[in-house]
Amino acid sequence: MTGDLSNVADLLSRAAATAPDRPALVAVSETITWAELAERAGRFAAGLSARGLEAGARVGLLLPNSIEFAVTYFGVLRAGLVAVPLNTGYTAAELGLQLDDAAAALVVTTTEHAALVDSRPTVVVGTPDWSALADSAAAAAGSAAGGEDLAVLLYTSGTTGRPKGAMLSHRALLANLDQLAKIEPPVVAADDVVLLVLPLFHVYGLNAGLGMTAYAAATGVLAERFDPVDTLALVRDKAVTNIIGAPPMYVAWSMLPDLPKAFASLRLAVSGAAPLAPPVLADVKRVTGQDVYEGYGLTETAPVLTTTLCTGRAKPGSIGQAIPGVELVLLDEDGDPVEDDDPGEIVVRGRNLFSGYWPDGADGPGADGWFHTGDVAYADDDGDLFIVDRLRELILVSGFNVYPREVEDVIAKHPDVAEVAVIGVPHPYTGETVRALVVPRDGATPSGDDIIEYAATRLARFKCPTSVEIVRELPHSQTGKVAKGKLRQA
């Protein structure tokens, strides 16, 4: 429990006290214990304080998954500053927009990425400036920051507009860890070895991955990027027991012959950030005997809201049920609870919710604490939730609602389809119409007409695509979501 903790960096102090000699993070060239990580983060915090940064100043973290990321992240929070994790795949222009919006006082980065932020105060890992921070003479005594104070500013993907900074307090981040810790079996236990390959600049990798590892004082195995062969070898060689993953990982691994041997040490595999195709779920189970438990969350909720772990049913297509401490309702267009298995918008309340968007807290939870996610779902007879779609991605065909996810689920079952994305496009008669972009399976050659005919036997006419484009691949975000914003711009 984190009831006695106020600052996220307090997780390090606790881990160092309970398991000082246990490996905290395992990287390619270095392993660091919890005691060592706590000391290094404390010294880094002291270095930041000596640099004269004021309480609440924003510090950009443009770093890969590494021990240096963890030292910087926890050090920034220990110093009473605000961490702004940045996507290492972004261009200078994209980074500039976020750094300008956050009014970042400093950016910590690598030689590889330094040129992207060279007009700002920057500390580059491995340079004398870095050593001056990381090797400060004395560890920081600790900041009074915590609780409702801003800890992390994370920018949303911006698929429907300019990215916005979600303001995550120490309270929200710690609350989500407490909530996850109440699930049985535990998401992460003290003796676990956790694969940390999801990018730490994303809330899923940052809090559900690194944060949960620190919460349990477990051991994290760092991978800078996802390579199917290399990361599966890590799982095998490091005897990984927990995988905090995303769908593309399981898709790629399911095609490798040594998956059963690599997964032999595995206790728990979870997936989030995007839907995991049921055939992949089935393939992993068939080959390894291992279930993959799916969950759902948002940057704004720190991030986890639901998981199939809550029921122990790894039900294909389901995101499970609300985790302990999260209230969740499905509301119709009039704001009333839906009836039976009708779809409705997911509306949530809990201590893990953000404090609104930077800088003034706009569009956060209402006065009653409820937050409208913009996601549509329905519950089956077991109470298990199934995402239908994003409200903002709704397609309106002649006044009828079409949820792209429903159409995608149908087309994905076509034997020749590897992946599909559905978007709405303007139509002179119906306002909008449905367009599908389809990636064929290896060796398959489906036509657009084949796909349309297949859909027509399974969907109402207004839901069927009127155009289909066969493509080699779809654009994805770093966490595996199809980047529909890019599809609409094409």
pLDDT in tens, 313-328: 999 999 999 999 999 9
For residue 140, the model assigns a pLDDT of 61
Residue among 5, 476, 460, 117 at smallest CA distance from 275: 476
The confidence score (pLDDT) of residue 38 equals 96
The CATH code of the domain that includes 462 is 3.30.300.30
Q: Which of 313, 347, 379 is the last residue of a domain?
A: 379
Q: Report if residue 290 sits inside a domain.
A: yes
Residues 281 and 316 in one domain: yes
Tell me: the pLDDT tens digits for 435-465? 999 999 999 999 999 999 999 998 888 899 9
pLDDT of 471 higher than 50: yes
Residue 389 within a domain? no
Q: Look at residue 141 in the predicted model and tell me its pLDDT.
A: 63
* CA separation for the pair 138, 44 (Å, rounded): 9
Section 273-302 average pLDDT: 92
**pLDDT number for residue 399:** 65
DSSP letter (8 states) at residue 472: S
Confidence band for 83, pLDDT divided at 50, 70 and 90? very high
Of 144-148, 157-161, 300-304, 464-468, where does mean pLDDT reach its minimum?
157-161
Pair (350, 453) in one structural domain: no
Rounded CA gap, 104 and 91, in Å? Answer: 17
Q: Give mean pLDDT, residues 480-490.
A: 75
In a domain, 42, yes or no: yes
**Distance (Å, whole) CA 380 – CA 386:** 8
CB 140 within 8 A of CB 45: yes
In this structure, is residue 386 part of a structural domain? no
Strands (E) located in 291-339: 292-297, 304-307, 321-322, 327-331
401 and 285 belong to one structural domain: no
Answer yes or no: is pLDDT of 1 > 70.
no
Predicted confidence (pLDDT) at residue 160 exceeds the cutoff of 50: no
Are the CB atoms for 62 and 116 separated by under 8 Å? yes
Q: Higher model confidence: residue 92 or residue 262?
A: 262
Q: Show which of 322, 355, 379 is a domain's final residue.
A: 379
Same domain flag for 244 and 333: yes
- Do 209 and 265 belong together in one domain? yes
Q: How confident is the model at residue 310 (pLDDT cuts 50, 70, 90)?
A: very high
> Is 320 a domain residue?
yes
Q: For residue 222, what are its two tokens? A: 């760092």
Residues 204 and 241 in one domain: yes
Pair 338, 344: CB distance under 8 Å: yes
> Which tokens in the block code for residue 435?
């367009």
> Distance between CA atoms of 468 and 456, rounded to whole angstroms?
13
Domain boundary among 379, 407, 430: 379
Query: What is the percent of the chain with per-residue pLDDT over 90, rounded to a whole number?
Result: 77
Mean per-residue pLDDT, 71-84: 97
Domain assignment of residue 4, yes or no: no
Tell me, yes or no, whether 220 and 318 share the same domain.
yes
Lowest mean pLDDT among 35-44, 311-320, 376-385, 478-487: 478-487
Task: Determine which of 24-38, 159-173, 245-259 has the lowest per-residue pLDDT on average.
Answer: 159-173
pLDDT on residue 210: 98
Which stretches of 257-379 are DSSP H helices? 259-262, 278-288
Q: Count Cβ atoms within 10 A of the Cβ of residue 189 and give its class: 0-12 exposed, 13-18 middle, 19 or more buried.
A: middle
Q: What integer pLDDT is reported at residue 157 of this predicted model? A: 54
Sequence-ordered list of residues with C-beta below 8 angstroms from that of 92, at least 6 positions apart, any chain: 115, 116, 117
Predicted local confidence at residue 161, as pLDDT: 47
Q: Which tens digits make up the pLDDT trace of 177-192?
A: 999 999 998 999 999 9
Instruction: State the DSSP code for 458.
Output: T
Least confident of 94-108, 398-412, 449-463: 398-412
Range of the domain at 241: 10-379
Does residue 291 share a domain with residue 196? Answer: yes
Is residue 338 included in any domain, yes or no?
yes
Are 375 and 407 within one domain? no
Mean pLDDT across 273-294 = 91
| Mean of pLDDT values over 298-317 | 95
Same domain, 312 and 398: no
Question: What is the chain's mean pLDDT, rounded?
Answer: 92
Nearest Cα residue to 176 out of 366, 1, 383? 1
CATH value at residue 286: 3.40.50.12780
Q: How does residue 274 score in pLDDT terms, banded at 50, 70 and 90?
A: confident
- Of the listed ranges 146-150, 208-212, 423-427, the one predicted with least confidence: 423-427
Same domain, 239 and 273: yes
Residue 110 lies in a domain: yes
Say whether both 178 and 233 belong to one domain: yes
* Domains in the chain, number: 2
Least confident of 123-127, 461-465, 467-471: 461-465
> Rg of the chain over CA atoms, in angstroms?
23
Q: What is the pTM of this model?
A: 0.85
Assess contact for 40 and 71: CB atoms under 8 A: yes
